[in-house]
Amino acid sequence: MSRGKFIVIEGLDGCGKSTQLRLIKEGLEQYGKRVYLTAEPTSYETGKYIRRILSESLIKDMYLQAALFLADRLEHITHPEFGIEKYLNDGYMVVCDRYYYSSFAYQGTASDIDWVMRTNLECERVLKPDLCIFLDVNPDTCKSRIDEVRDKPELYEKDVEKMHQIRNNFLRVFDRLGDSHNIYIIDANAGVEEVYAKVFEKIKMIIQKG
Ligand code: TMP
């Protein structure tokens, strides 16, 4: 059995990731693939602690946040039963809602971005995705969507200026990674179906590459 592909979907909070993830899963299944949809932060213990930091806006050092996200990521990858590595070896297409690019963009704004990148990229356990798609939506739109659905915004959903800064950080990081990573920035301000068509086109490219 051939190894599956590891696909990461990134974007600001409120960019429409959840809808696209659902469509990607359906699309891949119609394509005859087995799909494992997963997300970071995870639902393991470290992930739960991170969720509490986010939802209660607990003040935490950015280095500590980056380290917690990395610890959660390592468990996400290496868990013997439900780890990303295990699913890839079993031939699944693993589609992950956020990965280390989020650490670079979010934690990189207020800690040493070089350190955050190095600890993730140079750790041999941390898998490199086959594809990363960034759903690029105007931060003002993201913020209004969040305000419509959330009674209490999470840590990174409160301040539209901060969201602009995080978007810029994502773009800077992608630029810096250059051709060493397979990253596509998709203008996701359009309608759901139009965005999905562009996303799935990129996914088909990596499937066809084998
Ligand atoms: P989400 O469930 O809407 O994707 O929210 C997760 C939040 O966690 C989002 O605000 C981004 C943040 N985050 C980081 O700050 N660093 C990371 O490494 C990851 C994976 C997420």
- Give the whole-number percent of the chain exceeding pLDDT 90: 96
At 128-186, the pLDDT tens digits run: 999 999 999 999 999 999 999 999 999 999 999 999 999 999 999 999 999 999 999 99
How would you label 123-135 residue by residue, b for 16+ Cβ within 10 Å and e otherwise?
eeebbebbbbbbb
Write down the pTM of the prediction. 0.97
Structural domains present in the chain = 6-209 (3.40.50.300)
More confident residue, 157 or 73: 73
Please tell me if the CB atom of residue 72 comes closer than 6 angstroms to any atom of ligand 1.
no
pLDDT of residue 111: 78
CA distance 139 to 98: 17
Distance (angstroms) between ligand 1 centre and the Cα of 1 equals 33
Q: Given this model, what pLDDT does residue 110 score?
A: 81
Mean pLDDT computed over every residue of the chain: 96
For atom 19 of ligand 1, the residue with the nearest CA is 102
How far is it, in rounded angstroms, from Cα 85 to Cα 153?
A: 33
> Which residues touch 38 (CB under 8 Å, ≥6 apart)?
76, 84, 94, 95, 96, 97
Is the per-residue pLDDT at 59 higher than 90? no
CB 98 near ligand 1, within 6 Å: yes
CB 126 within 8 A of CB 93: no
Q: Tell whether the model's pLDDT for residue 1 goes beyond 90.
A: no
Ligand 1 nearest-atom number relative to CA 41: 20
- H/E stretch holding 196 reads helix 192-209
